[in-house]
Amino acid sequence: SSRPVKICSFQLRMDKKHCVKLSVQPSRALVDEKFIVLVQNAPPGFQMTIHSLHHSEDGHSWEAFGHYTADATGTVNVSQDHSVGGTYSGVEPMGLLWSLRPVPGSKSWLRFRKMNVETPMEVAISVYQGHQTVFVDQVQLASVVAERWYMAPGVRRIPVTESDLTATLFLPPGPGPFPGVLDLWGGGGQLVEYRSALLASHGFASLALDYLTAKITLKTGKMVENDYFETAYKFLQEHPQVSGSRIAMMGLSFGTAMTLKMAVYSEVMKLSCAVCISGSHVQPVNGSKAEKLLVSLQVGRLQCPLLLIVGEDDQNWAAPESAQDEMMEQAGNSHLLTLRSYPNAGHLIEPPYSPHTRARKKMNKKYDIIVVLWGGDTVAHSRAQEDAWRKTLAFLWENLYGRKNSAVTSMSHL
Ligand SMILES: *[C@@H]1O[C@H](CO)[C@@H](O)[C@H](O)[C@H]1NC(C)=O
Ligand SMILES: *[C@@H]1O[C@H](CO)[C@@H](O)[C@H](O)[C@H]1NC(C)=O
């Protein structure tokens, strides 16, 4: 239910019949749901800028905007009208989200990441007169706040403290049991929850697992061994609201290496399927991340269906997916492989409409500043994120529920 907000700006000397009306529908939605942004009641042919602004948890501001012209009825519908300029152009229903970027004057190299999934990402959508590019001190004609959620109503967030695991379990609404997903992120470490929260919003009991900066790693100073992942798997398997025979593992970047390793070598984990995003079948040996110790996994031994998602402009960790394909072909299990390869997409393939980050600056242990390049062209990358997420959900539904995802999942349907 959206609350249209009307503001008449007297500075514009608009008469009563030209109070610009703005609505966003739905104004409360999951992050992977589309919204419709509609401006009505503007003068015919009126030039306007539709702008989005988000203040992130870490104190930065992100914005996106498009330049539009009202039609003869004084309407702009962002879902079907062209933007002729701004942070995106053309008909881009979700451009106000995927083209979000730090406002001018921000620190460089920011990456958008929602850490508290119990609150929504709030985006203020506003209308300005004319085709603007600078928004400080400009008068808004109308403004609406859209809420974007990772957790659908009824999804439960359960911090896991047992068995030395650093993890959070997300359960879908209802009694279950639900199929499970073991969800791993990449080399940055930390317990990152938002993808698991979103998976639970789509019907999966999802365990976000930290394995690089986990409590046990900090305590021992050593990289976790296979048994850490097996403990996480058993935790899911034995949970009363998880269906123990239907568990998948999913990883991005370095998490892909862990996922493939466990899928190929673990005697304990019987995975129903695996999803690997922007990864590689090469593996660190003996707990070292040094590249010279990377060896090839025998992916030919893989026994479960594998969805491999690859950004072809991945500047971070070249993904030799053709090699993987070949190895599986040779071993006679290539029928298990589904490969989705996206031209001009980068490394960080996130849930749909997440802002695209090409590179990030970070410090290594010697406090040298290094730039990590993730690659991707923003438009192609955003298309890839949308498609890859739909394919991932469909793949998980097929292999864990044994059927197509017929449920339309949105905040309003739950
Ligand atoms: C806005 O455009 C979308 C996509 O074409 C359409 O479904 C929706 O009905 C339009 N809304 C209005 C009020 O025209
Ligand atoms: C890994 O460790 C084992 C046992 O300590 C050793 O035999 C092996 O050579 C090591 N492998 C590499 C690549 O260093």
208 beta partners: 168, 183
pLDDT at 155: 96
pLDDT at 327: 61
Nearest CA to ligand 1 atom 12: 77
Could you say which of 183, 210, 313, 314 is catalytic? 314
pLDDT tens per residue across all 414 residues of the chain? 445 444 554 445 455 556 899 999 999 999 999 999 999 999 999 999 999 999 999 999 999 999 999 999 999 999 999 999 999 999 999 999 999 999 999 987 788 889 999 999 999 999 999 999 999 888 999 999 999 999 999 999 999 988 889 999 999 999 999 999 999 998 778 899 999 999 999 999 999 999 988 888 888 888 888 999 999 999 999 999 999 999 999 999 888 888 988 988 899 999 999 999 886 544 444 444 433 333 455 566 788 999 988 887 665 554 445 555 666 666 667 788 888 888 888 777 899 999 887 666 555 555 555 555 666 788 999 999 999 999 999 999 999 999 876 555 666 544
Domains of the chain: 10-149 (2.60.40.2240), 156-413 (3.40.50.1820)
Nearest CA to ligand 2 atom 3: 286
Could you say which of 239, 347, 356, 381 is catalytic? 347
Nearest CA to ligand 2 atom 8: 286
Strand bridging mode 47-55 / 121-129:
antiparallel
- Which residue is it, tokens 């907000």? 5
Cα–ligand 2 centroid distance for 223 (angstroms)? 15
- How far is the C-alpha of 299 from the C-alpha of 325, rounded, in Å? 9
pLDDT at 411: 67
pLDDT at 325: 61
pLDDT at 322: 52
Q: pTM value?
A: 0.86
Name the nearest CA neighbour of 144 among 263, 5, 7, 316.
5
Cα–ligand 2 centroid distance for 287 (angstroms)? 10
202 is catalytic: no
Residue count of the chain: 414
Residues with CB under 6 A from ligand 1: 36, 38, 77, 79-80
What residues contact 348, with CB distance under 8 A and at least 6 apart? 111, 252, 253, 278, 356, 357, 374, 376
pLDDT at 201: 95
CA-angle at 386, arms to 381 and 392, nearest 5°: 115
Ligand 2 atom nearest to CA at 286: 1
pLDDT at 11: 44
Write the single-letter amino acid at 65: F
Residues with CB under 6 A from ligand 2: 285-286, 293
363 beta partners: 369
Nearest CA to ligand 2 atom 7: 286
243 is catalytic: no
pLDDT at 371: 56
Write the single-letter amino acid at 193: E
347 is catalytic: yes
Nearest CA to ligand 1 atom 14: 77
Give the number of the ligand closest to the Cα of residue 38: 1
Cα–ligand 1 centroid distance for 81 (angstroms)? 10
Nearest CA to ligand 2 atom 1: 286
Cα–ligand 2 centroid distance for 285 (angstroms)? 8
Ligand 2 atom nearest to CA at 295: 13
- Which residue is it, tokens 């996130």? 350
Cα–ligand 1 centroid distance for 76 (angstroms)? 10
Give the number of the ligand closest to the Cα of residue 294: 2
Cα–ligand 2 centroid distance for 290 (angstroms)? 14
Cis peptide before 177 (omega within 30 of 0): yes
